[in-house]
C-alpha cells in the first residue's frame, strides 16, 4: 500500500509497516500540544480481498467519540464512478487506547499518546481511496465552489455581497459574506447585525457543512429567511483559519497558534484574521449595532449540537434550537465561561464588547444523542440541515411571533 497526504487539507507525516500492519504517524504540534485529531490521506495499491488493520498514532486526547462508535470516513474513486457513492463510514474492530510512545515537552516527559486502530476492506483493487476523520471541506470548496455558486445564482446574488476582510499570513483571502437588504453604504448599511464565524479550528470541517447550510438558508427564498434579512444584516466569515485548513492542521494557524485563544490581544501580524474580525465586531458594538455573535465549531467528545452561552446570560436561543431540531442537546448546553475560555471569541465579545447574545455552537463529529438518531452518524446532508435549523431558531428567538414553535426537525 502507498500513502499520500501532500494535497489540500491532507494530514499524515509518515507510514511504516509493522508485521504487515501499517502504522501511520501524524505530526505533533508543539505550540498547541493537545491538537492532534485531524487525519486525511490517500491510499493506493490496496487489494479488495485483504482485511487491513491500520494503526494511527500520535493522538493526544484521552477521550474520543471512537469509544462511542464513531467510524472513520472512506472515499473510493472507483466506487463513486460505478455507484455514485461518496464519503461513507467504514471500519470494524475500532479501538482508541493509550500507547507506550513518549514525548518530551518543556523538559517534561509526556506519556498521553493514544492510538486509533481499525480494520477495513477496500472496495476495489488498485483503487484511489481516501480516509478522513470528518468530511473534508477545503478552502477551495468554499471559495471556488460554494461562494461562486451563491454569486452565480440570479436571486441569491441580490441578497449577498462578498468582500475581502484581510489577507492571511500566507496571502490567502479571508472572505466576509454580507447578507441582508441594507448593504448600500460600502456594504455596511445601518441595520442591526449578527456576526457569524466558523472554522477557526481547521480540523473541525463539520462546522463548514453547517455554515454551508446556514448560508444557503439565509440567502434562500423562504418567508423566514426574507424576514430575517428584512430585520437584520448578517456579516459571515465562513472560514476563519484558511491557512490552517489548507495545511491540514487540526487546531492551529500557520503561525502555530490556536486562533480562538487570541481574542483579547490579537497580533495583526501573527493573527490577522482574529484582529480583523475583532475590529469589525468592536466597530459594530460601538455603534450599538451588534445584536448577536455566533462561532461554529466541531466537538470530538460529545454528541449532538449545542451552545456554549456566557455566564449570567439567560437566553432563549438554546430552547428555540431544541424546538427546531431533534439533534439539539440541552444537556450539553452550558451557561458559563471557564478559565480556559476567557480568550475565546465568545467570551471576549461578551466581556469586552458587551454583547449578551454571544455563543459558541458545537456540533459532534459523531451524531445525535437525542431523538431518533442516537445510533446514527451525522452525514453531510444532516449537517447542512443543522445550519438551516440554526437560522430558523434565530428567527424564533429574535423575531418572536414570526414562526410558531414546532416539533423538532426530523433526521435527514
**CA–CA separation, 180 vs 63, rounded Å?**
42
Grid coordinates of 387: 445550519
User: Which is the catalytic residue, given 204, 273, 362, 396?
Assistant: 362
How is the beta sheet containing 305-308 ordered, strand by strand? 160-167, 173-179, 232-237, 192-198, 290-299, 358-364, 305-308
362 is catalytic: yes
**CA–CA separation, 125 vs 286, rounded Å?**
61
Instruction: For residue 386, give the nearest of 214, 194, 224, 219 by alpha carbon.
Output: 214
C-beta separation of 362 from 305 below 8 A: yes
How many C-beta neighbours within 10 Å does residue 230 have?
A: 12
User: What's the Cα-to-Cα distance from 94 to each of 71, 118, 387, rounded to whole Å?
Assistant: 8, 4, 30
C-beta separation of 328 from 408 below 8 A: yes
Helix (H, G, I), strand (E, B) or coil at 110: strand
Helix (H, G, I), strand (E, B) or coil at 90: coil
Residues labelled catalytic: 362
Amino acid at each position: 500500500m502507498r500513502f499520500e497526504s501532500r494535497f489540500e487539507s491532507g494530514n499524515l507525516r509518515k507510514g511504516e509497516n509493522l508485521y504487515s500492519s501499517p502504522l501511520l504517524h501524524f505530526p505533533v504540534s508543539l505550540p498547541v500540544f493537545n491538537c492532534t485529531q485531524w487525519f486525511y490521506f490517500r491510499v493506493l495499491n490496496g487489494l479488495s480481498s485483504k482485511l487491513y488493520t491500520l494503526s494511527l498514532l500520535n493522538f493526544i486526547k484521552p477521550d474520543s467519540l471512537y469509544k462511542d462508535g464513531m467510524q472513520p470516513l472512506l472515499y473510493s474513486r472507483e466506487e463513486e464512478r460505478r455507484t455514485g457513492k461518496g464519503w461513507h463510514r467504514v471500519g470494524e474492530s475500532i479501538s482508541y487506547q493509550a500507547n507506550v510512545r513518549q514525548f518530551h515537552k518543556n523538559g517534561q516527559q509526556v506519556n498521553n499518546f493514544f492510538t486509533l486502530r481499525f480494520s477495513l476492506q477496500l472496495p476495489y483493487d488498485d483503487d484511489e481511496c481516501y480516509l478522513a476523520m470528518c468530511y473534508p471541506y477545503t478552502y477551495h470548496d468554499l471559495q471556488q465552489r460554494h461562494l461562486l455558486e451563491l454569486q452565480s445564482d440570479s436571486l441569491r446574488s441580490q441578497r449577498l455581497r462578498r468582500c475581502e476582510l484581510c489577507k492571511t499570513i500566507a496571502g490567502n483571502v479571508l472572505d466576509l459574506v454580507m447578507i441582508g437588504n441594507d448593504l448600500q453604504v460600502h456594504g455596511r448599511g445601518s441595520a442591526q447585525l449578527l456576526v457569524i464565524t466558523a472554522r477557526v479550528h481547521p480540523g473541525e470541517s463539520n462546522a463548514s457543512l453547517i455554515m454551508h447550510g446556514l448560508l444557503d438558508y439565509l440567502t434562500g427564498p423562504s418567508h423566514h429567511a426574507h424576514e430575517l434579512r428584512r430585520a437584520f444584516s448578517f456579516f459571515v466569515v465562513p472560514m476563519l483559519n484558511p491557512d490552517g485548513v489548507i495545511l491540514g492542521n487540526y487546531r492551529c494557524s500557520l503561525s502555530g497558534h490556536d486562533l480562538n485563544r487570541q481574542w483579547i490581544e490579537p497580533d495583526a501580524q501573527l493573527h490577522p484574521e482574529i484582529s480583523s474580525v475583532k475590529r469589525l465586531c468592536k466597530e459594530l458594538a460601538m455603534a450599538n449595532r451588534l445584536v448577536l455573535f455566533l462561532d461554529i465549531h466541531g466537538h470530538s467528545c460529545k454528541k449532538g449540537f449545542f451552545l456554549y452561552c456566557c455566564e449570567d446570560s439567560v437566553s432563549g436561543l438554546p430552547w428555540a434550537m431544541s424546538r427546531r431540531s431533534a439533534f439539539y442537546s440541552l444537556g450539553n448546553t452550558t451557561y458559563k465561561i471557564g478559565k480556559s475560555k476567557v480568550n475565546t471569541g465568545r467570551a471576549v465579545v461578551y466581556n469586552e464588547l458587551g454583547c449578551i447574545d454571544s455563543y459558541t455552537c458545537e456540533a459532534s463529529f459523531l451524531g445525535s444523542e437525542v431523538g431518533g438518531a442516537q445510533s446514527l452518524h451525522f452525514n453531510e446532508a444532516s449537517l447542512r440541515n443543522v445550519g438551516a435549523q440554526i437560522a430558523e431558531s434565530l428567527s424564533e428567538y429574535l423575531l418572536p411571533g414570526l414562526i410558531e414553535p414546532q416539533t423538532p426537525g426530523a433526521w435527514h
